[in-house]
Amino acid sequence: MPHTSVPHLRGMSLLNDASQNKGTAFTAEERRQYGLEGLLPSHVESLDRQEERIHRHLEAKPSDLERYIYLSGLRDQSETLYYRVLMSNPAKYVPIVYAPTLGAVCQQFSHIYRRPRGMYISLEMKGRIEEVLRNWPVEDVRVICVTTGGRILGLGDIGVNGMGIPIGKLDLYTACGAVPPETLLPIQLDIGTTNSALRADPLYLGLRREPPALDVLDEFVEEFVQAVQTVFPRCCLHFEDWKGTDAIRYLEKYFPRIRCYNDDIQGTAAVTLAGLITALRIKNEPLSSQRVLFLGAGSSGLGIADMLVTAMQREGLSEQEAISRMTLMDVDGLLEASRTDLSPQQARYAKDMPPSRDLLAMVKAVKPSILIGVSTCGGAFTQEVVEEMAALNERPIIFALSLPDKNSECTAEQAYTWSNGQALFAAGLQYPAVTLNERTFYPGQANNFYIFPALGLAVYATCPDLITDDMVIKAASALADQVDPAAQERGRLFPPQSEILEVSITSATRIAEFIFDQGAATVPRPQDIRAWIESLVYTPHYHAQDAL
């Protein structure tokens, strides 16, 4: 989707408008026409030449945090050039504008703040949220990524410092899925923070108060959700990094009512399912025959378990048979029937087994074929645990998904070494290849950017009234189908990150086909769905012919 063909602004106002600024790529005629003569160096550059300069600047920066700050400044100057850089090498730049660098960014967000981006809706606006949303200059918003900052990347409650997450997440919708950036809106719901250190920080930019009582929060969120439906009726609400209990509760409340999605729950579940589908193709085994042990029973662990139950039901198991194949542990140990502290979502998985806090003992008792870590408990998959998994399974599947790296349950090198190269391994971050006994292993990264940009592109195109579990499962299967047999032979569980845009368009096509087949789309079905999807995607080019 190109930008408008004629700038509406002139002179410095045009140069200061990131959506229309071309900088040194304005032609001589454009400079005369729009009052830019004398405001730019004489030489007219191509977009390619501008991109080359940005790459050189980035290489000279001493850290990824400095690269993030530089790229944020670039986005403020030229949106087109910013996305051109990101999309030129997603595998290189996504870790800078999102995890893992974004963890450090969020910790310092109020200190490195430069200029506003997105919207901040605070409790003080309760009763006026619809009026406030109308201050946003774009009418056709298609995706809002919204957070309360209640649970950010293993950092806990960091209040409005969490705004870096929806900003970064939406950048990935465009960089990895080519969703037009003008249709995306990051929002921080400022409900206060439990973090007393932040409340005492003189540079902290959010409300300096504790979060409200639950009934007040529910009223506030309900007003926000209804205001979004009124102001942006074609919008999908993407809930991101809410406190675990709130994340589950609000997804259950709104999933059947509005076009919404929770990436921490459904995105993590879908990318995990995709990796498992590929691993099980390598093993030539069905999902329905697996036994799964989780370390971590918060929103991510429960989301994965719920999706695996649904997927196993699609393979013919009853709901109870599928649930019986899931065993979950949290910080207080096994989810078992004598515990009185379980949420209703956790109680669904409670076992009639003795209490236990010992992961190794549970591996021996349950004999899982799949071990999944979403605990943020760094090093929890010990050598003894991995060796026991390898003793129980010819090819144990071990997913250590916690972020950041210090929270990972084990490293790729540990998983391969302790299993003597038997493990099929994925992590929440990208580990380098591991060479063991003259064999090279390629650890997978179960990164949600394999799922939500493609799903977002399909939803942007087809505008279904609801996003169903089956649509999310379709996103997982479409991703798994793009790992070819040769890659599977090398132990790869996901497609190359360097091909993420092509992967996302292919997945979006499959998801859109499914949405049309289900009769859920609210737009006419095109004859060639892939060509139609490709016609809708954003490409980072200036609105006029690039200068030579």
Q: Is position 173 annotated as part of the catalytic site?
A: no
Q: What is the CA radius of gyration of the chain?
A: 24
Bond from prior residue into 100 cis (ω within 30 degrees of 0): yes
d(CA 13, CA 131): 27
Per the listing, tokens 């006026």 go with 128
CB contact at 8 A, 387 and 419: yes
Q: What is the DSSP string of 209-259?
A: SPPPPHHHHHHHHHHHHHHHHHH-TTPEEEE-S--HHHHHHHHHHHTTTSS
At 150, list the tokens. 């209640």
Nearest CA-CA partner of 179 in 483, 431, 458: 458
68, 82, 93, 169: the active-site residue: 169
The phi and psi torsions of 175 (rounded to 5 degrees) equal: -65, -35
Q: Around Cβ 4, how many Cβ atoms within 10 Å? A: 9
Give the containing element (helix H, strand E) for 301.
helix 299-314
Measure the CA–CA gap between 204 and 209, rounded to whole angstroms: 12
Cα end-to-end distance, the chain, whole Å: 23
Q: List the strands of the sheet with 143-147, edge to edge.
A: 119-122, 184-190, 143-147, 236-239, 260-262
| Under 8 Å between Cβ of 93 and 85 | yes
Q: Is 261 a residue of the active site?
A: no
Q: Which of 98, 204, 250, 460 is catalytic?
A: 98
CA distance 324 to 359: 18
Contact 261, 467 (CB under 8 A): yes
Which residues lie across from 376 on neighbouring strands?
none
Catalytic residues: 98, 169
